[in-house]
Amino acid sequence: MGNVAIRANALVKWFGEGETRTTAVKSASFEAGFGELLYIVGPSGSGKTTLLSMISGILKPNEGNVLVEGKDIWQMKSDDIADLRLHKIGFVFQDYHLFPRLTTVENVAIPLILKKMDWNEAIKVALEYLEIVGLKDRAELQPVKLSGGEQQRVAIARAIAGHPDILIFDEPTASLDGDTGRKIVEFIKTKILNPQRCVIIVTHDSRIYEYADSIMKMEDGKIIGFEQNTLHVV
Amino acid sequence: MSGILKIALKLLVNDKSKFIALLVGITFAVFLMIMMMSMFSGILARSSSSVYNVGAKIWVMDPAVNNATSSIPMPDYVLSHARSIDGVKYAVPIYFGNALVKLKSGTYQAVSVVGLDDATLYGRPELIEGKIEDIYAESAFVVVKDAEFKKLESPKVGTEFEINDYRGLVVGLAKVSSGGLFGIPTVYTTYNRAITYIPSMRFTTSYILIEPKSEADIPFIQQQIKKIGYQALTRDQFVHKISDFYTYQTGMGMNVLMMTAISFIVGLSISGQTFYTFILENLERFGALKAIGAKGHELITMILFQASFTALLGYGLGVGLASGLMILAKLRLPSYAAQVTYTNLIFAFVMVLIMAGVSSYIGVRKVLQIQPFDIFRG
Ligand SMILES: Nc1ncnc2c1ncn2[C@@H]1O[C@H](COP(=O)(O)OP(=O)(O)O)[C@@H](O)[C@H]1O
Ligand SMILES: [Mg+2]
């Protein structure tokens, strides 16, 4: 395991006020290192997505802090947090959120374009990433023309195109069949994870546990367990 | 073009049905506004055509006159008085009236007759055929070759005709800078012949045209004319007075204003509504962009670009459509009065900018409100 990529200290997040107030995350602390594939598992509603959002600069915690590569991100200005997300963090959303009016390759190019890369250059680089996920021949198609597993791979290509240090996947296999799910995670493990990267995957899909380096269990907003993976396959 | 603008454009244009609905809304509104205003401008410009064509610097008239062609005859002492004012280089009478011409085919055609001062021919038109001196010949008339010329069966120099039961002879053809509003041909003759041929009241002077010694003399001249109960207006003041009359006293201005406002409101609601739906449907996309790392100002730029791109395109189409239709109409109806002025174009442009502004304001507010977390949670 390498250096610490993300450290979360006593994160608390609640929604609503007064009687309707629900605390989604209750004092969660953990860290994830470079070269590590960390799973966050737990039942639906246990606060996994909320926690992911706080550590990736999307949702401001009510209490606690988040250090990304040593920097306290919630002390930063909102434009700087946006820059941090753009340059350091790659997301694969739960339901992909591809842009139906753009072609597959244009979808992958989005983070590059936001990084102000010239359009043609961005498309060229995006094509390389589509090739990595094995979808180069689908470049000019609209995402809706692709299967679920292919869309997921496009989303992965988009997440890695920006060359992020930290990759975050929220339930990447939830809407895929078992085989496709396994293939995706295997792909993440072998092609995307490297010693300079930290990958965090939220899932409750036990079929893919074997790929994790470590597994963090959540329940009712609390972290109830953290273990090195014994099922670990190398 | 920067990459995010290109993305914005693709999001917009690739959503064909909505994009077309947006364009149609704006094009339609611009088209209607331009048509209404052009019609109005055309009518206003035509209503002052005699004032422009005669070209005198100062017009003396009865204060009740509000329209060049319905003059109120003035007694002769007004002319003597005008001539006695210091600063007046010369002052001459001019006659405006109507007569009936009997054409060779036996039908009658109304014409408007301008009688030029016999001594000076002040206010004479520019001739394209014949010599102006021939206007002194017996029964001589100069016919204006404008859009209405054909209604006199396109006479030539030498053509004879009957006007109010007198003989008339065409001695020249003239061109004028602006056609009239009433769709009837114009003929010029001398003042004395005009008042002989056309039955008139005791007084015959329609207007007195004054050439001042210098611009600086104008206020004094106006003041002296006012003393005897008449009004001396510069050309621009007279044009203004006529425009005001049509705008405020005929109901025309009010109607045009209302129609323009309605076009604007209709256009604004169609395009604003469609743009809002467009933004709503793309909210998730904007949220995803935000999550990936797009900054607030970049999203605002995208929306402003989308709104102004549609607005400008719609504006262009609307102006093109309106101009095209007017050109067509002019081919068929030579005296069709509509004219597109810069003021109309600018006004419609401002209205379109307001539409784009309102639409993007709503869009921007919506987009800035979305939380990437809500997108992330799915
Ligand atoms: N925007 C929100 N408003 C109110 N409650 C929320 C909001 N987001 C999440 N929650 C609540 O927080 C808890 C944790 O949600 P979430 O992090 O999405 O769980 P998980 O991803 O583990 O399924 C749930 O009880 C959920 O209802
Ligand atoms: Mg979740």
Average pLDDT (A11-28) is 93
The residue whose C-alpha atom lies closest to atom 14 belonging to ligand 1 is A47
Mean pLDDT, chain B, as a whole number?
89
**Are A153 and A134 contacting, i.e. CB atoms less than 8 angstroms apart?**
yes
Express each pLDDT in A3-13 by its tens digit.
Answer: 899 999 999 99
At B303 the pLDDT is 94
State the SS3 of chain B: CCHHHHHHHHHHHCCHHHHHHHHHHHHHHHHHHHHHHHHHHHHHHHHCHHHHHHCCCEEEECCCCCCCCCCCCECHHHHHHHHHCCCEEEEEEEEEEEEEEECCCCCEEEEEEEEECCCCCCCCCEEEEECHHHHHCCCEEEEECCCCHHHHCCCCCCCEEEECCEEEEEEEEEECCCCCCCCCCEEEEEHHHHHHHCCCCCCCECEEEEEECCHHHHHHHHHHHHHCCCEEEEHHHHHHHHHHHHHHHCCHHHHHHHHHHHHHHHHHHHHHHHHHHHHHHHHHHHHHHHHHCCCHHHHHHHHHHHHHHHHHHHHHHHHHHHHHHHHHHHHHCCCCCCCCCHHHHHHHHHHHHHHHHHHHHHHHHHHHHCCHHHHHHC
Total length of chain A? 234
At A101 the pLDDT is 92
- Please work out whether the CB of residue A174 comes within 6 Å of at least one atom of ligand 1: no
Say if strands B207-212 and B58-61 run parallel, antiparallel, or are unpaired. Answer: antiparallel
Q: What is the best residue among A15, A40, A200, A203 to mutate for testing ligand 1's pocket, by most ligand atoms within 8 Å of CB?
A: A15
The residue whose C-alpha atom lies closest to atom 24 belonging to ligand 1 is A45
* A25 Cα to the center of ligand 1, angstroms: 9
Average pLDDT (B154-167) is 89
Q: Which residues in chain B touch residue A58, judged by CB atoms under 8 angstroms apart?
A: 291, 372-373, 376
Sheet holding A63-68, edge to edge: A22-33, A4-15, A63-68, A71-72
Distance from CA of B17 to the nearest CA of A (A): 12
Which pair of tokens denotes residue B155? 């006479």
At A234 the pLDDT is 47
Residue of B nearest to A95 (CA): B378
**Are B367 and B305 contacting, i.e. CB atoms less than 8 angstroms apart?**
no
Express each pLDDT in B73-98 by its tens digit.
Answer: 999 899 999 999 999 999 999 999 99
Q: Per the CB < 8 Å rule, is B3 touching A49?
A: no
Number of the ligand 1 atom closest to the C-alpha atom of A44: 23
B201 against A42, higher pLDDT = A42
At B66 the pLDDT is 86
Q: Which residues in chain A touch residue B298, judged by CB atoms under 8 angstroms apart?
A: 114
The residue whose C-alpha atom lies closest to atom 2 belonging to ligand 1 is A15
Q: What percent of chain B has pLDDT over 70?
A: 99
b (16+ CB within 10 A) / e for B244-266: ebbbeeeebbeebeebbeebbee
Backbone angles phi and psi of B20, in degrees to 5: -65, -40
At A113 the pLDDT is 96
Express each pLDDT in A82-103 by its tens digit.
Answer: 999 999 999 888 888 899 999 9
Residue B182's closest CA among B110, B253, B249? B110
Place of tokens 């003399």: B217
Q: Which of A168-172, A222-226, A228-232 has the lowest mean pLDDT?
A: A228-232
Band (A2; pLDDT cuts 50, 70, 90): low
At B377 the pLDDT is 79
Express each pLDDT in B25-44 by its tens digit.
Answer: 899 889 988 988 888 888 88
Q: What percent of chain B has pLDDT over 90?
A: 49
**Are B47 and B68 contacting, i.e. CB atoms less than 8 angstroms apart?**
yes
Average pLDDT (A68-84) is 94
Place of tokens 């597959």: A104
At A209 the pLDDT is 82
Which pair of tokens denotes residue A109? 């190019």
Average pLDDT (B188-200) is 90
pLDDT > 80? residue B181: no
Interface of chain B toward chain A, CB-CB under 8 angstroms: 1-4, 6-7, 10-11, 14-15, 284-285, 287-296, 298, 371-373, 375-378
b (16+ CB within 10 A) / e for B194-219: bbebbeeeeebbbbbbbebeeeebbe
Express each pLDDT in B323-354 by its tens digit.
Answer: 999 999 888 877 777 888 898 899 889 988 99
Gap between the Cα atoms of B178 and A63, Å rounded: 78
Domain ranges of chain B: 3-46+251-377, 75-229
Distances (CA, A) of B233 to A70, A129, B110, B210: 82, 78, 29, 10
Backbone angles phi and psi of B101, in degrees to 5: -105, 135
Q: What percent of chain A has pLDDT over 90?
A: 70
Question: Cβ atoms within 10 A of the Cβ of B166, count?
Answer: 13
At A172 the pLDDT is 86
Number of the ligand 1 atom closest to the C-alpha atom of B377: 18
At B154 the pLDDT is 87
Superfamily of the domain at A34-62+78-228: P-loop containing nucleotide triphosphate hydrolases (3.40.50.300)
- pTM for the full model? 0.80
At A230 the pLDDT is 67
Gap between the Cα atoms of B146 and B134, Å rounded: 21
At A144 the pLDDT is 93
For residue A25, the ligand closest to its alpha carbon is: 1
- Please work out whether the CB of residue A172 comes within 6 Å of at least one atom of ligand 1: no
pLDDT > 90? residue A159: yes
Express each pLDDT in B270-304 by its tens digit.
Answer: 888 888 888 988 998 999 999 999 999 999 999 99
